[in-house]
Chain A
Amino acid sequence: MMNCKFTPLAKSLTPFLLFIFILSTIEFHCSEDKKDKDFVLRIRLADEPDCLHPVVSQSSLATQIEVLIMPPLFEFSPNKLEFSPILVKSMVDPVIVNDSTVSYTYELQENAVWEDGQPLTVDDIIYTIKSTLNPCIRNKTYAGFFKNIRDVKSTSSNNKTVTFLINKNYMQGQEMSGNYCIYPEHIYDPNSVLRKFSLQDLMHKDSANWSAEEWNNLKSYGSEYQSQKFCKEKIVGCGPYKLLTWQSGSKIILEKKKNWWGDSLVSKYPLLISKPDRIEYWIMPEEASALLELKNGNIDIISELTPKVFEELKDKDSDKLNFATPTLMQYMYIDINHRNPVLSNLKVRMALSHLINVDQFIKEQYNGLALRINSPVHPSKSYYNSSIESIKYDPLKATQLLKEDGWKDTNGDGSLDKKINGKTQELAFRFYLTNKETSKKFGLLLQEECKKVGIKIDLIPKEAASLMNDLNELNFDLVLIAQRQSPSLWDPFQMYSSSNTKAGGFNKSGYATSKSDSIIASIRNAGTENERNKLYLEFQKILHDEVVQIYLFSPLERIVYSKRINLVESSRRPGYYEGMITRK
């Protein structure tokens, strides 16, 4: 009887099931066709980059693709934290010109040509700098970066030798002499609009001092420069790859140039190596579906996996997949607002630092995939102070420190208090953090530990942008921050100098003494590497002893890749270098 009732439904489903069956055969054929002779590398991107225009782009995902199309003069090599030449013949040491200026002179690669066969010249480099200094473009970051350049000029008759004159006191002078993507002038500025403007004018002139005509020229050039055409369509460089297609929202495909000029030089210049014939970036926001594609053999690399998923995969699928955990140039720390009279007290800060069980947190939330750090310098750098001992998790010590400082629970409300300037002050802090899952878990951990010793912590999880607002207005007691680091020399000026303590400045903690200021100044002016490293070590020791901030850990990158490729790990984002990946 029951069967009879279901028959009409089953009848109507039969063609549907048949249909699915037929379709399944189509898919089978499709996946068979994919095998071909070319080495196609497929990489998952978690989000679509906004554009492939290094100056305009806001997305950190774009950088990894941009350097393959329009490489810089030199770049950090994947395994060591030092520069390796790409468009120049060799790296050079700075030459001191006078008290305030140093110069770098590079010879450009003779064979280097743009996509259309035009040679790379010094004019292109000058154009690149000028175009970023245009006051009418949105992204002012580069303009600020370049303000320490004194001049750039061609110093040979064939226009292939470039000399940079750079402010001597600026630590990242070498970076400024060519560690940025170079644009072809004849394509981005065919009418030579920017040749009418001198580098000096673009660098120093105030917006009020331009004549109306000049300003209009800059404005109309700026809007074309940032237009859709150069953002997504016409992306031209002298790198090994060219943009083949950009399927909006799904794929970005790069193709190796035929007879590329750099192919004959790879033995001497490792960064010119470009093995894959084609690189496809698949835009897949959902991690689970990307993993399925990886297991099905459609994708080769996935990076930035969630630690938990990474560990699960390692347990289950280590026979099918490979795993890599290069270090990431990033660290987590708690910034402390020293403007708060309670937090300006060293003993309170030390007590707080003893209440954080960092090792347990790394074990539980990152499955052990993070390095414990004791200073804002990345542990892979030679001047990381490894003699500093990590602050131990020790609630008893914390209680003792607070007791020494006179904190007692006089009113019996469960939290400690103390009379400061005649007023009873409760030991309570506002702890700001982003509303990411791991941040919140960290917050809860700290809150619980603090409650045990009588410190009240108010957790204030906020969305990233509004958290930035509060930070800029210095409206916080404690805040959990994930900070990106640069592979280049560490410049503590920004975060620790007394001149940046105002609202909106980068010294959020507000800690600055005449001693720290003088060390920062001597770090910036140090003559030799030895001298500088000594100062670096000393400065890290001060930061640690004074508990200026509480340094937690530096997470490791989590990459899964297919067994069919060989991956070269790198501490630079995204953790590998596409050009050096080979097929097994």
Chain B
Amino acid sequence: MNWWRYLIKKFTVIISMLLILSLIGHWIISNIPGSNEDMINQDQVTLYSDSLQIIKKPFKPIFYWSVLPRFTKEEKLDPSSLPLSGILPVFKWNGIHNVYHEWLTQTSYSLRDSKDVSAKVFEAIQWTLVIQIPALILIFILGIYLAEWSVKSKNNNAGIRVTKILTAFHSVPVFWLASLLLIFFTGQGFLHIFPSSFVSADVVSPFEFWTTKIHYIILPLIAIVLPALAVIYNLARNNILSNMEKPFWKRTMSSGLSQNEAIKQEARPLAMIPLIAWIASAIPFLISGSIIIENIFSIPGTGRLLFQSIGFRDWPVVHALFMLASFLTILGIQIAELVQLKLDPRL
């Protein structure tokens, strides 16, 4: 019974958060200067001079109601001389002919190529996931592995050295690291081991990369994993070390387990708990965080789609990606909470 209540509560939170976020999205988009039409005109003005008509779109309210100031700028009235009702803003009902209602009820199409937005996003997200999911898993496994290794090694210097190296990678700009990887491993001057872009692989479906063309993925993977490792490594290392100082650790060690086994059985699960929250916060990066990597390696994923769509003022696509990112973040946080509850009885 309690579980049901809990789930229903979470569900309503998710839905209401999404509705609020989508409204904010519409509000921001409607307030950004420049529309898709401006972009068309800019390009064609000079080609067909003498011909351009500037078409202003009819104004459409954003939401079911709007709150407007009572006076326009021209009317200069002294508010102190008016009764209270004269100062309060006007409440106006707009009916269902508003941007928000249409967005909720109708399919939206990309302004750029009239493609169904959901199809477009779906197409792009496959490419992103093909790289980002393995990257996330790698970051997680490698991070914890390195953390445990540095804790176990009796020579303290080794741990510090790894921390230094990883922090160095973390502070290097991603585009620089990716360009270096490209120059060193794909060009003719150095090691010509990897292909430099996804375009040269003749693949139709992104999943082919995990069957026959795996070498195309390695460089982007390295470029994503290396800078991100430091975060997980440090989190996991500090967690394990702090757990080792707690009283239960002495009990575990005195029960006759070797240090390796003790870490595996006791410290690792406890260190995982805060890391789960990190995964939840990493989910939006699945969608937007890879803009640079996708541009450099010519991967047609969501990061590049977002970048292109903003450039073209293709708001339906931008809004869809924005909503997808917020949905996944909210969902991630909720799931992380559930998993943490399950793992850690103290919460």
Contacts and interface: CB of A to CB of B under 8 A. Distances in A.
B237 to A, nearest CB: 15
Given A58-B312, A472-B54, A286 B116 contact: no
A287 B145 CA distance: 37
B149 A9 contact: yes
A503 B103 CA distance: 33
B196 A289 contact: yes
A406 interface: no
A50 interface: yes
A10 B14 CA distance: 46
B259 to A, nearest CB: 14
B313 interface: yes
A472 B51 CA distance: 16
A494 B295 contact: no
Contacts of B123: 248-249
A208 interface: no
B253 interface: no
Given A289-B297, A494-B49, A228 B312 contact: no
A265 to B, nearest CB: 28
Given A144-B51, A248-B123, A284-B298, A51 B204 contact: no
A41 to B, nearest CB: 15
B179 A465 contact: no
A289 B308 contact: no
A526 B145 CA distance: 82
Nearest to A4: B155
Given A9-B149, A288-B179, A288-B182, A283 B300 contact: yes
B192 A296 contact: yes
B115 interface: yes
Contact of B33 (A9, A144, A283, A466): A466
A247 B155 CA distance: 53
A97 interface: no
Interface in B196-235: 196-200, 203-204, 214-215, 218
A125 to B, nearest CB: 18
B105 interface: no
B338 interface: no
A95 interface: no
A27 interface: yes
B347 interface: no
A284 B298 CA distance: 5
B318 interface: no
In which size bucket is the chain B interface? 35 or more
Contact of B218 (A23, A30, A226, A284): A23
A228 B114 contact: yes
Given A5-B158, A27-B193, A141 B52 contact: yes
A8 B301 CA distance: 37
Nearest to B187: A292
Interface string A163-182: 00000001010000000000
A217 interface: no
A248 B198 CA distance: 12
Interface in A286-316: 286, 288-290, 292-293, 295-296, 298
Contacts of A48: 300, 308
B42 A144 contact: no
B19 interface: no
Interface string B40-83: 11111111111111110000000000000000000000000000
Nearest to B195: A27
Given A20-B193, A23-B215, A140 B298 contact: no
Given A284-B197, A293-B200, A26 B46 contact: no
A50 B312 contact: yes
Contact of A8 (B52, B149, B200): B149
Given A228-B116, A295-B187, A282 B199 contact: yes
Interface string A442-469: 0000000000000000000001111011
Contacts of A400: none
B215 A26 contact: yes
B304 interface: yes
A289 B223 CA distance: 14
B39 interface: yes
Contacts of A285: 295, 298, 304
A30 B193 CA distance: 12
Contact of B34 (A6, A170, A468): A468
Tell me which of A251, A295, A493 has the highest count of chain B C-beta atoms within 10 A of its own C-beta: A251
A20 B219 CA distance: 11
A51 B41 CA distance: 17
B300 A293 contact: no
A486 interface: yes
B295 A145 contact: no
Contacts of A249: 123-124, 127, 299-301, 304-305
A142 interface: yes
Contacts of A464: 34, 42
B199 A284 contact: yes
A250 B215 contact: no
A47 interface: yes
Interface in A462-488: 463-466, 468-469, 472, 483-486
B38 interface: yes
B215 A486 contact: no
B194 interface: yes
A47 B312 CA distance: 11
Contacts of B193: 20, 23-24, 27
Which 3 interchain pairs have the tightest Cβ spacing? A249-B300, A465-B34, A144-B51
Given A141-B41, A293-B200, 20 more contacts: A12-B145, A51-B112, A60-B43, A141-B44, A142-B48, A144-B52, A145-B48, A227-B114, A248-B123, A249-B304, A282-B199, A284-B298, A286-B296, A289-B297, A296-B192, A465-B313, A466-B33, A466-B34, A469-B34, A493-B49
14 contacts: A51-B114, A141-B51, A141-B52, A228-B116, A231-B113, A248-B300, A249-B123, A251-B199, A284-B298, A289-B298, A295-B188, A468-B34, A484-B43, A491-B50
